[in-house]
Amino acid sequence: MISHNGGWCWFQDERALVDAATGTLLLGAVASTGGADGERRGGDVNLHVVDLDRLGEPGSARTVVLHEGLESDDHDNPALWRRADGRWVAVYSRHKSDDLTRWRISETADPTVWGEERALDWTTLFESPEQMRTLGGGRGVTYQNVHRLDGVLHCFVRAINDDPCYLVSHDDGETWEFGGRLLTRAKVGYVNGYARYASGTHLGAEDRIDLVITEHHPRDYATSIWHGYLEGRHLHRADGTRVGELGRGLEQTAPQAEDLTPVLASGSAWGGAVMSHAWTTDLRRFGDGTLVALMTARADDTLGIDTDRRQTSPIDHRFLWAVLRPGQSEWQVRHLAHAGPQLLAHEEDYTGLGTIDPADPDALWISTVVDPRDGTDLPVHEIFHGRTGDAGESWAWTPVTEDSAVSNFRPIAVPGDPAREVLAWYRGTMRSSQAYDAEVLVRAAERVARE
């Protein structure tokens, strides 16, 4: 256990990184007013710096406060980037309650000493208040995802019209400017698409950035999941078809999710049930170009969008796993496991989530209240490690946590050191994304070569 108070959302990355040369883990988290010492620490955007070689020893974990009291909300978790000069970048924002993308850069390679916070105000991009209102600006920004493409750093943010937009940096995160609108669509309900991004940065490649995305929030729409990739100044479908140029200005039209390649279609049947209201969970790219996606969906849902946000009757959620092999243009989808009912009554599609092993496309971890080995209901969310040897047709499951007194949520398989298997998660109770009482845990082990 490295912190008594912390949690995170899952739509920003990298949320954690390992410096293999020093054996140091960097892990972002947001303290809650509902957690330990919450009156003092609630809303702190934290960076936990952990010596993995001394994990568990006194003093092995230190906490740096990137922004004190920003907001008690797990959506404010920072995205991390390692610069070419060895320094670190952390990018973060509030949860749709202002229009600032904030960032800090470490003064040296030491991740415990940071420079001053800087910010980009998205409202300054507009020529007038009328233009801002017309285009859907000024509604707040959320989420950061930092990846490099052809030497240019991209930070993907939910921003204008609640669409996926992006900033670019030509100086490795020192300064940022508007890069373009990636996708757009008419608003339905709360926000537009939920995206997960992946690149080959951890593999030393920066030739493309992949994404999987929904149309809207699954509470407001029978969402499917779509895939595209950025390469050579264009957005493409999986088969290489160009669907739009990058660098689109504020008033230029942009593609929508349905212009991309389908991954998981609402209404399709998997594991003997009809899936709908799908949500993106994780996406990873591997050295040979293989892409693996982890998703959730409702099974045989009868409620649709007619929930009242006080829904206490259990909604059956499932994990689904999908792979796109090099040279292929059609995703292969497999039913993975039962995720259990909704995590919170007012968040009908929240689950314990899961994470893909960044070094092994056939391995992952999930948090669930249904034992994937035999279907037994569990009293709390436990974490299981899964591995497949037959392209997802079957899985061997091993418990990571057992007989827990409280639930274990939102595991992160941390990239950066191919010789280590590093997993972070938090355990405790959640009343909302703003109010949770949770401890942050880290598990590290030497990676064993597969036979």
Model pTM?
A: 0.96
pLDDT at 201: 72
Residue 160, CA distances (Å) to 93, 140, 210 in order: 14, 8, 21
What is the tens place of the pLDDT at every residue in 81-90? 999 999 999 9
Which pair of structure tokens corresponds to residue 372? Answer: 């994937």
Can you spell out the DSSP letters for 40-78? HHTT-EEEEEEEGGGTTSTTSEEEEEEETTS-S-GGGPP
Does residue 3 sit within a domain?
A: no
- Give the model confidence (pLDDT) of 334-356 as tens digits: 999 999 999 998 999 999 999 99
pLDDT of residue 311: 66
Question: SS3 for 234?
Answer: strand
Please classify residue 403 by burial: count the beta carbons closer than 10 Å to its beta carbon, then call 0-12 exposed, 13-18 middle and 19+ buried. exposed
Spatial contact of 336 and 349, defined as CB atoms under 8 Å apart: no
pLDDT band for position 367 (50/70/90)? very high
Can you give the CATH number for the domain in which 264 is found? Answer: 2.130.10
Structure tokens at 118: 């800087």
Provide, rounded to the nearest whole percent, the portion of the chain with pLDDT above 70: 99
CB 299 within 8 A of CB 317: yes
Position 385 pLDDT exceeds 70: yes
CA 234, CA 142: separation in Å to the nearest integer? 24
With a cut of 90, say whether residue 307 has pLDDT above it: no
SS3 132: helix
Report, as an integer, the average pLDDT of 147-172. Answer: 96
Residue 1 maps to a domain: no
DSSP assignment of 89-130: EEEE--SSSS-EEEEEEBSSS-TT-B---EEEEGGGGSSSHH
How many domains, in total, are found in the chain?
A: 1
pLDDT, one tens digit per residue, over 48-71 is: 999 999 999 999 999 999 999 999
Residue 4 forms part of a structural domain: no
What lies within 8 Å, CB to CB, of 92 at 6+ separation is: 28, 45, 66, 67, 70, 76, 77, 78, 79, 102, 103, 144
Domain presence at residue 243: yes
- Mean pLDDT score, 406-429: 97
Confidence grade of residue 73 (pLDDT, cut at 50, 70, 90): very high
Per-residue pLDDT, averaged over 176-185, amounts to: 94
Residue span of the structural domain in which 66 resides: 16-446
pLDDT in tens, 181-229: 999 988 888 888 999 999 987 777 778 999 999 999 999 999 999 999 9
Cis before 14 (ω within 30): yes
Confidence band (pLDDT; 50, 70, 90) for 320?
A: very high
